[in-house]
Amino acid sequence: DGGITQSPKYLFRKEGQNVTLSCEQNLNHDAMYWYRQDPGQGLRLIYYSQIVNDFQKGDIAEGYSVSREKKESFPLTVTSAQKNPTAFYLCASSIPGRALRTQYFGPGTRLLVL
Amino acid sequence: GNSVTQMEGPVTLSEEAFLTINCTYTATGYPSLFWYVQYPGEGLQLLLKATKADDKGSNKGFEATYRKETTSFHLEKGSVQVSDSAVYFCALYSGTYKYIFGTGTRLKVLA
């Protein structure tokens, strides 16, 4: 079955530590996205990538970094510079073509600070 | 800039009641419009979509009509079930690879 997988489901970060969230898709989608979701709030865009080896900052990129070395993979690193990282992180990808661009989401990773 | 405004929740209904969740948008051009649903602890799932004015998206008994004259895309269901309890997000895509999401509306359906 095609889809988006995110791992781990839960992640714990210590002060001053960088952590990496995994996102893999086998949908052959060109574009991939990372969103942050805080309780009772909508989704805020962290980074997005339209194509391999290219990515763009979203609305809240500070304290985060990404890479896009393969079409299937778009890992997100939460660096020690991100002072309030506790949130639910969602990865998404979008279908090729201009007309519709439906986004498909992974199951999410919940990041907690120890 | 582009934006999406949803009614605040929570919305609490009894089983078999009629549901409306309001969504209005601001965008240039002709955006595509979406409703997503999120169950507790999970990612978002596409519920329905519409790409042009007067299009009606429908799925699992839910419907929404793209109204350009009122810039709205309200979600409706004639008879809700307990299993419909979730958070519902309205969203738009107007190009440049970026999506705009509303803040979400929590629906609680009581048996």
Q: What is the largest CA-CA distance in chain B?
A: 43
pLDDT tens readout for residues A60-84: 999 999 999 999 999 999 999 888 9
Neighbours of A58 (CB within 10 A): 18
- pLDDT of A51 higher than 60: yes
The confidence score (pLDDT) of residue A102 equals 82
Chain B residues whose beta carbon lies within 8 Å of the beta carbon of residue A107: 42-43
| Cis upstream peptide for B10 (omega within 30°) | yes
The confidence score (pLDDT) of residue A96 equals 62
pLDDT tens readout for residues A8-47: 999 998 888 999 999 999 999 989 999 999 987 789 999 9
In a mutational test of the A interface, the residue from B3, B37, B44, B52 whose CB has the highest number of chain A CBs within 10 Å is: B44
Q: What are phi and psi of A21, to 5 degrees?
A: -100, 135
Q: Do B49 and A100 touch (CB under 8 A)?
A: yes
What is the residue whose two structure tokens read 């699992």?
A: B60
The confidence score (pLDDT) of residue A100 equals 58
The confidence score (pLDDT) of residue A53 equals 95
Beta strand ranges found along A1-114 (DSSP E) = 4-7, 10-13, 19-25, 31-37, 43-51, 54-57, 64-66, 76-78, 87-94, 103-105, 109-113
Q: Which two tokens stand for residue B66?
A: 């793209």
With CA atoms as reference, the chain A residue closest to B9 would be A40
Residues of chain B with pLDDT under 70: none
Output the CA angle B86-A95-A23, nearest 5 degrees.
70
